[in-house]
């Protein structure tokens, strides 16, 4: 137990508010008498920050001194959420802090709630990166994250008249968790041209010249592990006009305004997180972000390596770089450029180093998400990189041709360059060719990668280049922090909190499944968590929800493939059924609260239409006196990490209902089950492995299988299809304007009725409805439901992020933890 390991004098100092008062009075220049909740937050955060800094410095010194191999996790997104609560739990002083704040008249929850989420991500991919950081620190891996310091994180969502409205998320003011490193800067070049020259050895070399320079400035964020001294670093780059450029030339020419405009243009690079999730649109600024961040990170990594004076051949023994999706693929090209153009290595020697260094994680098979950049765009922005890409491609295709001399099509299929108009650079292919390992994020997903998207590459490189590492979640945030009472109950039975560091120990919980007192406690905790969510719903939407009702939750980015439309159509079906019931029949209905949350990409009209429909249905259903408590529909605005921490522990059932074969893994499915909720889901992503672990009697699976999808889509295409009759009844209600103007939703209904139902909503509708009836029935037997809940939690050990981190470390990175036993 981390809490217990804190020495008494330190505890005493905190109890006496020593650090808190010092920060409030001096750092914040406030008196304790005008200390409001925000100041209390800042004072507490600064006090905890001091503790992190000390361990952070020691960790960095230790890592430099031992000079073991390090991992660099490159991600354009880190969806961190709040830091204070996590820091208090990791350091082990939350209880002391609670008492201290309470003496001064503050509730710790209110203080924690003052913090703004660090929302530098869209969804699953960004949150996975954050869970990685937590786990790598907890397991003592020498690891750094590299990302961008966006001035604006993912937009804040408001719902106005049922429509999503996006508000900029300016989050940086008074952020105590970052440290500007103004001395750590890198000049990043764009545009310009390539000149050939002969170097002193008579070798023809290339030099990239005359570009525009933008400066990258490092901002560091300490990442504490749970119950360890390791505090790793997350380095985020911020862009600024390079000082040399800005000031003098234009200023002297009297052109102040245009000098300022240049400055602003440079700062634009790190200004905003692109709010697309699983959608690629080839915007130049996005490519600039990618290169800016890759180049700054690579410069930093190479600089650190060069200080050790090792031979270049040792680079892959010292450095492992993981690419979180294809967004950082330019790092591969940048390292090759540094090695051949700057360091004078031969091509083959350099390329060998590069491929040994990189690993690439793929997160999706959706074709619209696969990154491609137009050749003319890249030619203009990164002329030298494009040359290198062409060269990589040439050597690669030559080797393929040699191996498969009779296969004429394979060359055009696997070429990094797509021969379209304009030509496009296929980033996933470049990432595969430049890495030694490629992994998917759940078994089905990894299998699909090998059998579809990357089939040719399996033929070329053999199956060993491809592997699976099923995603996980950190139990520190997603159990201990989000659900402290459940965590405490488990700790009480298991004799301590060791399970937070080895989640497989949860299996010991199963022995208590018949323990009456334990079961009662378990049920009370779920109820408390539901009440907490009910209060949030009341405060934010004004609706009262019945805490005895079945809480049915779907929270995630809004996307057609995730099928929130299937859910809301199911809700309409339920509503129409209730309306048609006699009073007697109504008595048998299990009351439900259908809870939705999630953001739509601002340009994704269909997703916005789904949000609009959900809100209009809520409007009608929640006011209908014939329905009363039997059904309520809630849309929780601005779903984010800190809301997930309230929502996950409060669900009875959650929905993970993507069209089979489309969801890479899903990670919220794991969060819900770990918090004692059951799930309804398709045979997709990690749902399949969750089923394997917890048993099929503990999950509600429905729908067509991935292997049937292609055939079903074909049938739609050839008109061999009849709309499911129950779905037809739902559409009829929509077309009778029951939920507002039908015209608002015609795109949605016609995508199913007329345009091929790509996501197979109609095909799965009947099975979905029937399975929900089974959910109702199961919920009526509370004793059995409770047993399912407890058993499932007990069997979730596999989904710890620590298992994931160790698998990457062993099978991809070849890194060892750094011993910290001082």
- Would you tell me which residues interact with ligand 26M (CB under 6 A)? 122-125, 128, 274, 276-278, 280, 286, 363-364, 369, 441, 471, 663-667, 685
Closest CA to 734 of 552, 558, 568: 568
Q: In what order do the strands lie in the sheet with 592-597?
A: 631-636, 592-597, 550-555, 653-656, 678-681, 700-701
Tokens standing for 556? 């995630």
Looking at the Cβ atoms of 93 and 128, the one nearer to ligand 26M is 128
Helix/strand/coil (H/E/C) assignment for every residue in 699-764: CEECCCCHHHHHHHHHHHHCCCCCCCHHHHHHHHHHHCCCCCCHHHHHHHHHHHHCCCCCCCHHHH
Looking at the Cβ atoms of 91 and 670, the one nearer to ligand 26M is 670
Read out DSSP for 378-419? HHHH-HHHHHHHHHHHHHHHHHHHHH-TT-SHHHHHH-SEE-
Report the nearest approach of ligand 26M to the CB of residue 337 (Å). 23
DSSP 75: -
**Where in 391-489 does DSSP place strands (E)?**
417-418, 424-426, 437-440, 466-468
Tokens standing for 404? 């498969």
**Please, are residues 817 and 61 in contact by the beta-carbon 8 Å criterion?**
no
Residue 562 a catalytic site member: yes
Looking at the Cβ atoms of 14 and 73, the one nearer to ligand 26M is 73
Report the nearest approach of ligand 26M to the CB of residue 212 (Å). 23
Report the nearest approach of ligand 26M to the CB of residue 129 (Å). 9
Closest CA to 114 of 92, 154, 82, 158: 82
Tokens standing for 597? 């949350």
Helix (H) or strand (E) holding 610: helix 605-623
Tell me which residue has its CB nearest to ligand 26M: 124
User: Cα separation of 357 and 4, whole Å?
Assistant: 41
Indicate which residue of 667, 682, 771, 805 is catalytic: 667
DSSP 174: T
Report the nearest approach of ligand 26M to the CB of residue 278 (Å). 5
If 0-12 CB within 10 Å is exposed, 13-18 middle and 19+ buried, where does residue 104 land?
Answer: middle
**Please, are residues 559 and 662 in contact by the beta-carbon 8 Å criterion?**
no
Looking at the Cβ atoms of 289 and 481, the one nearer to ligand 26M is 289
Looking at the Cβ atoms of 286 and 493, the one nearer to ligand 26M is 286
Looking at the Cβ atoms of 231 and 446, the one nearer to ligand 26M is 446
Tokens standing for 342? 């700057």
653: CB partners within 8 A, 6+ apart: 550, 551, 552, 553, 677, 678, 679, 680, 700, 775, 779
Indicate which residue of 17, 149, 363, 530 is catalytic: 363
Residue 556 a catalytic site member: yes
Report the nearest approach of ligand 26M to the CB of residue 673 (Å). 14
Looking at the Cβ atoms of 286 and 735, the one nearer to ligand 26M is 286
Report the nearest approach of ligand 26M to the CB of residue 670 (Å). 9
Closest CA to 75 of 124, 117, 140, 116: 124
Q: How close are the terminal C-alpha atoms of the chain, in Å?
A: 18
Looking at the Cβ atoms of 473 and 618, the one nearer to ligand 26M is 473
Report the nearest approach of ligand 26M to the CB of residue 323 (Å). 13
Closest CA to 764 of 691, 708, 695, 699: 708
Indicate which residue of 562, 563, 592, 632 is catalytic: 562
Q: What is the CA radius of gyration of the chain?
A: 28
Residue 821 a catalytic site member: no
Report the nearest approach of ligand 26M to the CB of residue 662 (Å). 8
- For residues 673, 678, 684 and 690, what is the CA-based torsion angle, rounded to 10 degrees? 50
**Please, are residues 147 and 236 in contact by the beta-carbon 8 Å criterion?**
yes
Looking at the Cβ atoms of 685 and 740, the one nearer to ligand 26M is 685
Residue 240 a catalytic site member: no
632 by DSSP, 3-state: which? strand
Closest CA to 139 of 232, 4, 236: 232
Looking at the Cβ atoms of 280 and 724, the one nearer to ligand 26M is 280
The residues annotated as belonging to the active site are 363, 556-557, 562, 667, 671
């Amino acid at each position: 137990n981390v809490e217990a390991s804190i020495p008494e004098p330190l505890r005493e100092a905190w109890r006496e508010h020593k650090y808190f008062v010092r920060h409030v009075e001096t750092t914040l220049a406030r008196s304790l008498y005008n200390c409001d909740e925000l100041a209390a937050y800042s004072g507490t955060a600064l006090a905890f920050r001091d503790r992190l800094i000390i361990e952070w410095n020691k960790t960095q010194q230790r890592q430099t001194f031992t000079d073991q191999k390090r991992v660099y996790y490159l991600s354009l997104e880190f969806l961190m959420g709040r830091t204070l609560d996590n820091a208090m739990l990791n350091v082990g002083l939350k209880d002391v802090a609670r008492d201290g704040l309470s003496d001064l008249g503050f509730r710790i929850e209110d203080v924690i709630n003052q913090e703004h989420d660090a929302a530098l991500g869209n969804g699953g991919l960004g949150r996975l990166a954050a869970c990685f950081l937590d786990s790598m620190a907890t397991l003592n891996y020498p690891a750094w994250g590299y990302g961008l310091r966006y001035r604006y994180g993912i937009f804040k969502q408001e719902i106005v008249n049922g429509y999503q409205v996006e508000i900029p998320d300016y989050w940086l003011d008074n952020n105590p968790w970052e440290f500007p490193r103004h001395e750590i800067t890198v000049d990043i070049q764009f545009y310009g041209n390539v000149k050939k020259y002969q170097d002193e050895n008579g070798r023809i070399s290339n030099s990239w010249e005359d570009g525009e320079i933008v400066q990258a400035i490092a901002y560091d964020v300490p990442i504490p592990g749970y119950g360890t001294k390791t505090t790793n670093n997350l380095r985020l780059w911020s862009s600024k006009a390079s000082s040399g450029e800005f000031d003098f030339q234009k200023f002297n020419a009297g052109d102040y305004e245009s000098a300022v405009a240049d400055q602003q243009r440079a700062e634009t690079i790190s200004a905003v997180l692109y709010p697309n999730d699983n959608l690629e649109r080839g915007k130049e600024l996005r490519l600039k972000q990618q290169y800016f961040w890759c180049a700054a990170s690579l410069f930093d990594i190479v600089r650190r390596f060069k200080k050790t004076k090792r031979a270049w051949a040792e680079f892959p023994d010292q450095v492992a770089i993981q690419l979180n999706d294809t967004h950082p693929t330019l790092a591969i090209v940048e390292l090759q450029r540094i090695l051949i153009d700057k360091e004078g290595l031969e091509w083959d020697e350099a390329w060998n180093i590069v491929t040994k260094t990189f690993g690439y994680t793929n997160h999706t098979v959706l074709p619209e998400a696969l990154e491609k950049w137009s050749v003319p765009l890249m030619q203009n922005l990164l002329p030298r990189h494009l040359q290198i890409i062409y060269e990589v491609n040439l050597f690669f295709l030559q080797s393929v041709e040699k191996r498969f001399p009779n296969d004429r099509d394979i060359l055009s299929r696997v070429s990094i360059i797509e021969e379209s108009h304009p030509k496009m650079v296929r980033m996933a292919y470049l990432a595969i060719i430049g890495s030694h390992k490629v992994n998917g994020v759940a078994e089905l997903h990894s299998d699909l990668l090998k059998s579809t998207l990357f089939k040719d590459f399996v033929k070329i490189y053999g199956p060993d280049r491809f592997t699976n590492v099923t995603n996980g979640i950190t139990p520190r945030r997603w159990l201990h922090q989000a659900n402290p009472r459940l965590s405490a109950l488990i700790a009480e039975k298991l004799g301590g909190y060791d399970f937070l560091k080895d989640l497989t120990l949860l299996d010991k919980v199963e022995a208590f499944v018949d323990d009456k007192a334990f079961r009662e406690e378990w049920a009370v905790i779920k109820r408390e968590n539901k009440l907490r969510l009910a209060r949030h719903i009341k405060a934010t939407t004004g609706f009262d929800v019945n805490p005895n009702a079945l809480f049915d939750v779907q929270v995630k980015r809004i996307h057609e493939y995730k099928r929130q439309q299937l859910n809301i159509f199911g809700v309409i079906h339920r509503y129409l059924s209730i309306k048609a019931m006699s009073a007697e029949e109504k008595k048998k209905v299990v009351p439900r609260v259908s809870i939705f949350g999630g953001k739509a990409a601002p340009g994704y009209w269909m997703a916005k239409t789904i949000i609009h429909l959900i809100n209009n249905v809520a409007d009608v259903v929640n006011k209908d006196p014939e329905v009363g408590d039997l059904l309520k529909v809630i849309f929780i605005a601005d779903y984010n990490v800190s809301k997930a921490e309230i929502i996950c522990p409060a669900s009875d059932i959650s929905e993970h209902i993507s069209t089979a074969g489309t969801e890479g893994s899903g990670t919220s499915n794991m969060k819900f089950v770990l918090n004692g909720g059951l799930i309804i889901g398709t045979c997709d992503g990690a749902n399949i492995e969750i089923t394997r672990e917890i048993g099929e009697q503990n999950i509600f699976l429905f729908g067509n299988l991935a292997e049937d999808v292609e055939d079903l889509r074909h049938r739609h295409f050839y008109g061999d299809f009849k709309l499911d009759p129950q779905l037809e009844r739902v559409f009829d209600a929509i077309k009778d304007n029951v939920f507002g103007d039908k015209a608002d939703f015609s795109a949605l209904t016609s995508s199913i009725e007329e345009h091929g139902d790509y996501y197979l909503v109609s095909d799965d509708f009947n099975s979905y409805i029937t399975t929900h009836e089974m959910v109702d029935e199961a919920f009526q037997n509370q004793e059995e439901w409770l047993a399912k809940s407890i058993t499932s939690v007990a069997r979730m050990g596999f989904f710890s992020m620590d298992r994931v981190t160790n698998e990457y470390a062993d099978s991809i990175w070849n890194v060892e933890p750094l011993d910290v036993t001082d």
